[in-house]
């Protein structure tokens, strides 16, 4: 009987001693330690009936001998700065994180570990984090459509859209170029500037970071929502140039029949337009076609043998098509050009005015013409240029063949 009473007592004492030792070891163990709020993964997105649900992950390291954890989550009141408890939850000892869905705001949490006696061992320090409202970015348009290495223009990409926020990450992702690890190449801008409404953004890139290829434009907001659009290209060389210009091009008469037609060497009133298309580009120069048109007012004043004054007036219209050769002295900044071509010259409303006697009948004529030209083109601001030209023009009319030297000054734009 004595043995029967002693044995249960011995077992009970043994268990109490073991629990005391266990509790002491657990009290000396490391408490649960929270991981930073931005540890991977710190958040995730989940689809729900009401839309995309944002889940913030609160993680901690497991504590030795813990049988359960308690996590407390508090939110900071923006008006008075006080912390208010929004969540208190018991967690089993085999868990090291929970996912919570909370609105935007500033939060803090701490984790408490409990031992087998359900006693509190220790509490972690408060870990703070901020949840930013997840907004869906959008890119409606962007400009320019490409960067060209042979153009000395600022490498600035302008985006128009919505929710392009201060923390929005915007960059280019290649569609046909891979990085060293075999992933699509990403080019990030040197600077990002946005307006306050998040409707526009300017991405400024470094020249040395650009790689030729086709790209999509990405925008990713805090919270993981993103958008993409394209196609944006970076080219080793622009495939062609189109130049459009207009200017003043007075003429000096070199030779020709001037009686009753043109007795002045200088023709001051003369305007012209030019357009060129340059699709062929080589290291030694570029080759293309040039179209030009001009208008000049021809006037003459003479006195006949009877002492009568005779004035003549005519409008000279010239349309030419030629070949243009271009050589860039300074790439995409300063070039010299040579051209030659042919076309037609129309002399319209040619008439005499006798004093006295009045206006005589109008006459019209057409003639073949050809020209040789040279010019210097300077792109002084982005794609805007000025051009100085000097060319020779021969109007090969059978009755009034005339040769001119034309000196022009033009302003234009290169597409």
What's 209's DSSP letter?
Answer: G
User: For residue 135, what pLDDT is reported?
Assistant: 82
Does the pTM surpass 0.85? The reply is no
- Give the bridge partners for 73, in sequence order: 87, 109
pLDDT at 175 over 50: yes
Average pLDDT estimate for 359-373: 86
3-state secondary structure of 373: strand
Comparing 281 with 17, which gets the higher pLDDT? 281
Average pLDDT estimate for 246-256: 90
User: For residue 133, what pLDDT is reported?
Assistant: 72
pLDDT at 337 over 60: yes
| Residues 138-235, CATH architecture | Sandwich (2.60)
| Residues 241-414, CATH architecture | Beta Barrel (2.40)
As a whole number of angstroms, the distance between CA 262 and CA 302 comes to 10
Distances 186 to 155, 171, 211 between C-alpha atoms, Å: 16, 7, 10
Q: Where in the chain is the domain with CATH 2.40.160.20?
A: 241-414
Average pLDDT estimate for 246-266: 76
As a whole number of angstroms, the distance between CA 221 and CA 51 comes to 17
Strand residue runs (E) in 163-225: 169-178, 184-187, 191-194, 200-204, 213-220
Of the pLDDT bands very low, low, confident and very high (cuts 50, 70, 90), residue 3 is: very low
User: For residue 37, what pLDDT is reported?
Assistant: 42
Of the pLDDT bands very low, low, confident and very high (cuts 50, 70, 90), residue 386 is: very high
For the stretch 286-333, pLDDT in tens is: 999 999 999 998 887 776 666 677 777 888 899 999 999 999 998 788
pLDDT at 271 over 90: yes
Percent of the chain with pLDDT over 90: 48
User: For residue 153, what pLDDT is reported?
Assistant: 77
Answer whether CATH 3.30.200.20 is correct for domain 33-131. no
Average pLDDT estimate for 77-103: 91
pLDDT at 393 over 60: yes
* Candidate from 33-47, 97-111, 141-155 with smallest mean pLDDT: 33-47
Positive or negative CA dihedral for 149, 154, 155, 158? Answer: negative
Average pLDDT estimate for 237-244: 86
Of the pLDDT bands very low, low, confident and very high (cuts 50, 70, 90), residue 19 is: very low
Q: Where in the chain is the domain with CATH 2.60.40.10?
A: 33-131, 138-235
For the stretch 27-84, pLDDT in tens is: 444 445 555 444 444 666 666 555 566 778 888 888 888 999 999 999 999 889 999 9
User: For residue 36, what pLDDT is reported?
Assistant: 46
User: For residue 374, what pLDDT is reported?
Assistant: 97
Percent of the chain with pLDDT over 70: 81
User: For residue 311, what pLDDT is reported?
Assistant: 78
As a whole number of angstroms, the distance between CA 386 and CA 64 comes to 79
User: For residue 82, what pLDDT is reported?
Assistant: 94
Rounded mean pLDDT of the chain? Answer: 83
Q: Among 204, 130, 218, which residue's Cα sits nearest to residue 168?
A: 218
As a whole number of angstroms, the distance between CA 142 and CA 231 comes to 10
């Amino acid at each position: 009987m004595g043995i029967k009473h002693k044995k249960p007592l011995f077992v009970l004492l043994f268990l109490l001693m073991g629990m005391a030792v266990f509790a002491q070891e657990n009290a000396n163990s490391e408490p649960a330690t929270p991981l930073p709020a931005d540890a991977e993964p710190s958040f995730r997105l989940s689809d729900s009936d009401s839309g995309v649900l944002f889940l913030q992950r609160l993680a901690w390291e497991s504590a030795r001998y813990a049988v359960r954890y308690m996590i407390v989550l508090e939110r900071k009141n923006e008006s008075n700065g006080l912390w208010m408890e929004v969540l208190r939850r018991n967690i089993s000892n085999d868990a090291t994180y929970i996912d919570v869905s909370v609105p935007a705001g500033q939060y803090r949490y701490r984790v408490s570990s409990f031992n087998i006696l359900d006693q509190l061992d220790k509490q972690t320090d408060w870990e703070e984090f901020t949840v930013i409202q997840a907004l869906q970015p959008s890119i409606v348009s962007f400009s320019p459509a490409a960067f060209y290495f042979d153009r000395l223009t600022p490498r600035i990409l302008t985006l128009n859209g919505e929710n392009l926020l201060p923390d929005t990450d915007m960059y280019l992702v290649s569609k046909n170029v891979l990085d060293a690890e075999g992933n699509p190449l990403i080019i990030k801008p040197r600077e990002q500037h946005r307006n306050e409404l998040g409707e526009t953004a300017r991405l400024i890139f470094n020249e040395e970071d650009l790689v030729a290829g086709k790209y999509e434009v990405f925008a990713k907001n805090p919270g993981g929502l993103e958008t993409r659009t394209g196609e944006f290209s970076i080219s080793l060389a622009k495939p062609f140039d189109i130049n459009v210009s207009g200017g003043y091009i007075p003429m000096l008469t070199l030779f020709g029949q001037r009686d009753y037609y043109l007795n002045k060497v200088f023709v001051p009133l003369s305007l012209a337009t030019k357009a060129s298309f340059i699709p062929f580009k080589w290291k030694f120069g570029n080759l293309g076609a040039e179209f030009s048109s001009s208008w000049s007012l021809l006037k003459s004043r003479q006195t006949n043998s009877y002492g009568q004054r005779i004035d003549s007036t005519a409008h000279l219209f010239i349309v030419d098509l030629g070949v243009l050769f271009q050589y860039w002295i300074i790439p995409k900044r300063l070039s010299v050009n040579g051209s030659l071509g042919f076309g037609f010259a129309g002399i319209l409303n040619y008439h005499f005015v006798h004093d006295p006697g009045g206006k005589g009948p109008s006459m019209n004529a057409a003639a073949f013409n050809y020209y040789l030209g040279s010019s210097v083109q300077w792109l002084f601001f982005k794609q805007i240029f000025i051009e100085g030209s000097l060319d020779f023009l021969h109007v090969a009319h059978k009755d009034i063949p005339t040769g001119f030297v034309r000196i022009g000054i033009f302003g234009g734009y290169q597409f």
